[in-house]
Structure 1
C-alpha cells in the first residue's frame, strides 16, 4: 500500500502523541478517523484536520477505507477492540497490555491470525535509541557471551490510586516493559521467575492491593540472568538504566538528563536531575515505534513487536505475581504452555 489510512481509538496522552507523530512526522500514513469520548480529545483531533471525529467506535470499524487501527483506549477495552479490528480486516497497533488475562490474550492472537491481520504491541522502550544501541552491541557480540542484564526503572512519583486499582499491579503495569526489554536483549526465553515486593512509598498503594517496590530475577534458557528493580517513587526524577555484562565486557545505557552541565565547586560536583516524566524520556521512542509499524505495513513485513511478545511479557508478569505471593521461584511452564 502507498499510504496507510489509520483510525485512532482513544486520545489520551499516548493517543495524542501518536496523532501528532502521524500527522506531521511520519510519511506514508494518514489519520482518517479518531474516536474519543470527551470533547477535549475530539477538539484536539480536529486541530489536525482529521476528517472523521466521533465518540462512536463504529466510525472506525465500519469504515472500509481504513487500513489500520491504533488502540490507545483504556486497558479494559483492548481485547474487544482488537477483536473488532481483526474482524473488519484492519491491521492493529495496540498499547500494552492486550489484556490482563492470558487466556484472553491467546484469544486475541488467534483472532488476528484467523483474519490474517498484523498485530503490533506497543512496547515503545525497545525503540529508545540508547536501549537499541545496547541491543545492537549484544547482537553483534561486542560484550561476548551474555551473562547478566540489569534493569533499573523508577518513576518520579506514583500514579493516582484510582489508576493503581485498575492497573493489574506493578508487575503487569510497570515492570512488564522491563520483562519485554530483558527478553528482547537476551534473545532467549525466560524459564524461571523469582520476585519480591513491598510497600515502602505509600500505604494507600498497599491498601489498594498492590506493591510500590519490586525486585525480580529472570533466568533464561541461554544461561543469562536478568535483575530488575522497580520503584513507584524516586526523589531525584525518572530513573531508567540498562546494563549488560558478558564474557568480553560490559555495556551501559544511563539516564537522560534535563541538560548536561556540571558545576564543580568546594562542595562537590553538581548537575541537573534526570527527566521527570516517561513522556519526556521516551518521546523519540514513540516516533520510532510508529515509524516501524507503518513501515511494516507498507513493506508487507511482520511488525517488530507482535502478539506473542505481548503474551510472553504478560506471562512473565503473572509468574512474578505468583512468585511474590508464594515466596518461591516459579517455572514458566507453570504459567504458559507455549
Structure 2
C-alpha cells in the first residue's frame, strides 16, 4: 500500500534512517519501504543480528549505531530519522539526530516524564529541526471521522466519553515483569492524546485505580488493569478503561455522548463473514492486534512525516500536546499510587 501526496513528485524523496528492529521497527520498515516518497537509507540497532535480518528484507544497509549511519552518509545528506525503540532510549537518539540537523519522528511518548519532554523540545528548538511524536489514532480513518463529527457539532456539546483499550495478545509474563510494566504508563497516552484532540480541551483533574490480575504481578507492582477518570475544564468527563487481557482480539472502542446524540468508533473483525444457524449468530474475532488494526494509520502517519520533511508542513501534534499528554499520564500514575484525585491546574 502506498501513500502519495498529490502535490509532490515521485522523484522527490526524503532519505531516512529507521532506528530499531523490534516489533514497531518491523511495522515502520514496511511503511517506509512501501512509500515512494522515502529513500530507505538503512536500519540502526545495537542488536546487529536483528538489524541485519530486517534490513535484508528491504534491501537496505544496517548499522550498529546512529553515529555510524550518519558518518556513512556524510557525503549524501540524510533528511530524518524514525525512532522505534523503547522510551528510555529516545533522548540520546533525538539529541544526536538534532545535532546532525536531522528531523525526527519518534514513537510515543517522547520521554518518560513531562519535564524531560520539555527539555527535549528545548534541544530541538536550539537546532531548528522538527520533532514529530507519533499518535496514530489521529491518522486512523474511523477515529478521524469521529473527530470531524464531534468538531462539526454532530452530537452537540460532548458531555461524557467512554474509551476501552483491551490488549491482544496478552503480553508475555517476561515483558510485564521486566519492562512492560504499568499499563497506564505503557498504553494510556494514545487515548489521552486522542480525546484531548477531539474535545479541544485540557484535563483539569485525574483519578485512577489499578489492579493486578494475579499475585505474582501484584507482588512485582505491575498493574495490568486500570480505570482512569479524566475531568476536562469545559465539563466533559471521560472514563478510560485499560486491560492487558482481551483474549478475544484487539479491543479498541471510543464512545462520545453529547447533548444532541452519540458517536462511536467500533472494533473491526478479522473478516466480514457471519454465520447464522440453530446455535446462534457467529462472527469472527476482532482483528488480532495493533499492527492489523492500525496498519492504514501507521502508513498515513509516516506520509505526514514525509510532508514535514519535504514540504515543511508542521507536525499536527505540538510540543504542548506532548507535554500535556505526559502530564496526564504522570498524574494518573500518581493517583493510582496515592488513591487521591490529582489536580493539574491550581
Could you tell me the TM-score, scaled by structure 1's length?
0.92
Q: Distance in 1 between the 2:260 and 2:67 partners? A: 55
Question: How far apart are residue 168 of structure 1 and its match?
Answer: 5.3
In structure 2, what is the equivalent of residue 12 of structure 1?
Answer: 22
In the alignment, which of 26, 29, 39 is matched to residue 30 of structure 1? Answer: 39
In structure 2, what is the equivalent of residue 45 of structure 1?
Answer: 55
CA contact (8 A) 1:60 1:66 kept: no
CA contact (8 A) 2:103 2:130 kept: yes
Q: Distance in 2 between the 1:157 and 1:27 partners? A: 32
In structure 2, what is the equivalent of residue 159 of structure 1?
Answer: 171
CA contact (8 A) 1:156 1:276 kept: yes
Q: What is the aligned length?
A: 331
Task: Write out per-residue CA displacement over residues 182-234 of structure 1, whole angstroms, 9 at most, x where no aligned residue.
Answer: 1121111111111111123x333223212111111111122212111111102
In structure 2, what is the equivalent of residue 193 of structure 1?
Answer: 206
CA contact (8 A) 1:161 1:208 kept: no
What's the C-alpha RMSD, in Å, of the aligned pairs?
Answer: 1.8
CA contact (8 A) 1:109 1:308 kept: no
Q: Distance in 1 between the 2:320 and 2:84 partners? A: 19
5 Å matches for 1:235-246? Answer: 235-246=247-258
Given the alignment of the two structures, is residue 263 of structure 1 paired with residue 275 of structure 2, yes or no? Answer: yes
Q: Distance in 2 between the 1:46 and 1:234 partners? A: 34
Gaps of 5+ in 2: 1-7
Gaps of 5+ in 1: none
Q: Secondary structure at the match of 2:345?
A: helix
Q: Distance in 2 between the 1:325 and 1:256 partners? A: 35
Task: Write out per-residue CA displacement over residues 88-109 of structure 1, whole angstroms, 9 at most, x where no aligned residue.
Answer: 1110001122221332211111
Q: Distance in 2 between the 1:264 and 1:199 partners? A: 38
In structure 2, what is the equivalent of residue 108 of structure 1?
Answer: 120
- Residues 267 and 282 of structure 1, relative CA distance in 2, 3 Å threshold: same
Range moving further from structure 2, 206-215 or 187-196: 206-215
In the alignment, which of 170, 193, 198 is matched to residue 180 of structure 1? Answer: 193
In the alignment, which of 36, 45, 54 is matched to residue 63 of structure 2? Answer: 54
Q: Distance in 2 between the 1:49 and 1:18 partners? A: 15
Could you tell me the TM-score, scaled by structure 2's length?
0.90
Q: Secondary structure at the match of 1:333?
A: coil
Given the alignment of the two structures, is residue 138 of structure 1 paired with residue 147 of structure 2, yes or no? Answer: no
Q: Distance in 1 between the 2:343 and 2:169 partners? A: 32
